[in-house]
Amino acid sequence: MVFPHPALAPILFDNEPQMNKQNACTVLFADVCGSTSLYSRYGNEQARRIIAQCIALMSDICRRHKGDIVKTIGDEVMVRFDRPDDAVCAACGIHDTLTRGVSFEGIRLAARIGLHCGPAFIIDGDVYGDAPNIASRMSSVARSGQIITTLETVKRLASEVAASTRFYDRITLKGGAAETSIYQVLWEKDNATRLLTCADLIDKAATAYLQLSYKSHKLMATPDRPIVLMGRAPDCTLVVDADLVSRVHARVEHRRGRFVLVDQSSNGTFIKFEDGQEVYLRREEMPLWGRGHISLGRAWHSDDMDLVRYSVQ
C-alpha cells in the first residue's frame, strides 16, 4: 500500500499552511491473514462478512487503547495513536484475542501487524507522510501473528515495553539510501525474555464491567463476579424463559480484563454488535465489545422481547 506524498495531495494546495505542519504520531496497520483464500473457499459474501467481523474486533481493541481509526481498506485497518506504547499494547491485544480460540462463523483468523512512530501530516482525519508509509511497509514484512516495528519506534517506548522487543532484521526502505533496523514485539505471555508482558499492560487498560439487561432484569458482571449463566434454569444468574432456550444456554466469563460469551446450547447463540455485525455461535465463544444484543436459540429480530442487551464499560 502506497500513500501519496503530502505535496501531491490536492487538499494541501487548497490550504498551503498545512503543508509544513507535521505531528508526531504512531501509525498501526493490522492486516487479516489469508483473506484471498477465504474468498476462494467460502465465496464473496461470506468471506466479506467474516473479514468485516474481524476488522470490527481489531478496531474496537485499538479504540480501547486510545487509537483513532483512520480507515479500513479491504482486509486491513489503519489506526493512529498519540503514544507508541498504546499502539504496541493494542497490537498485542489483537494477537492475544485472535489466538485464544476466537472464531468468526466458525473460522479462526490471524493477523500481521506493523507500526511506526514518526512525523506525519494529519489532514481531515487522514494521515500522510513517512509514518503511514513506513508502518505499511512493516506490516508487509510481518508474518502471521507477528508485530514488526522500527528502531525509531523502540527508542520512544517506555523501558518496560521496549524490553519486549528484539532485533529482527535490517531492510532498505523505499527511497532510502541506508539500511534500517527493524524489531519484533514479543507479545506471547510465556516469553521468558520479557520484563513486563504486553498482556499485563493490556489488562491494566482493559474493560472491567459488563451490564446485561433482559426485560426488567439488570445485572452487572465484574472481575469479582466473573461468571454469569444465562438460560431457562431457575438457578441461572440471568433467567431467560423462552422457546429454544436451553436450561443453561450460555455463560459469560471474565478473562484477563475481557468478557467472553461461551455458547453451550443445542440451538446456538446469536450476537448483534452495535456496528451491525452479526455472529452465530454454536459451542463456540466470542469476546463481547461495545454494545449489542444477544438472542438465545433463534435469529435476531428487532421486535423480539426475549433479547438480552449488553454493554461493555
β-pairing, 111-123 with 147-150? parallel
What pLDDT was estimated at residue 256?
61
Which residues, listed in sequence order, are joined to residue 310 by a DSSP beta bridge?
Answer: 212, 292
Point out the residues of the chain with pLDDT beneath 70: 1-20, 175-177, 189-208, 256-257, 275, 277, 300-303
pTM strictly above 0.75 = no
What pLDDT was estimated at residue 106?
84
Query: Can you read off the three cell numbers belonging to residue 189?
Result: 505471555
| Cβ pair 117, 88 in contact under 8 A | no
What pLDDT was estimated at residue 67?
94
What pLDDT was estimated at residue 291?
87
What pLDDT was estimated at residue 260?
83
Q: What values do phi and psi take at 153, rounded to 5?
A: -70, -45
What pLDDT was estimated at residue 20?
55
Percentage helix, strand, coil for the chain under 3-state DSSP, each rounded to 5: 25, 35, 35
Q: How far apart are CA 69 and CA 4, in angstroms?
A: 19
What pLDDT was estimated at residue 229?
94
In CATH, the number for domain 13-205 is 3.30.70.1230
Q: What separation in angstroms does the CA of 198 have from each of 17, 75, 100?
A: 39, 25, 15
The 10s digit of each residue's pLDDT in 28-69 is: 999 999 888 888 888 899 999 999 999 999 999 999 999 999
| Cβ pair 176, 272 in contact under 8 A | no
Q: What values do phi and psi take at 303, rounded to 5?
A: -100, 15
Among candidate residues 178, 196, 198, the one with its CA nearest the CA of residue 188: 198
The 10s digit of each residue's pLDDT in 225-242 is: 778 999 999 999 999 999
Inter-helix orientation angle 44-64/84-98, to 10°: 140
Q: What does the CA dihedral 287, 49, 2, 124 come to, rounded to 10 degrees?
A: -70
Task: Specify the DSSP element, H or E, that contains 211.
Answer: strand 210-214
What pLDDT was estimated at residue 192?
36
Residue limits of CATH 3.30.70.1230 in the chain: 13-205
What pLDDT was estimated at residue 189?
58
Residue 42: CB atoms within 10 Å: 15
What pLDDT was estimated at residue 168?
87
Among candidate residues 157, 80, 154, 90, the one with its CA nearest the CA of residue 119: 80
Residue limits of CATH 2.60.200.20 in the chain: 210-312
In CATH, the number for domain 210-312 is 2.60.200.20
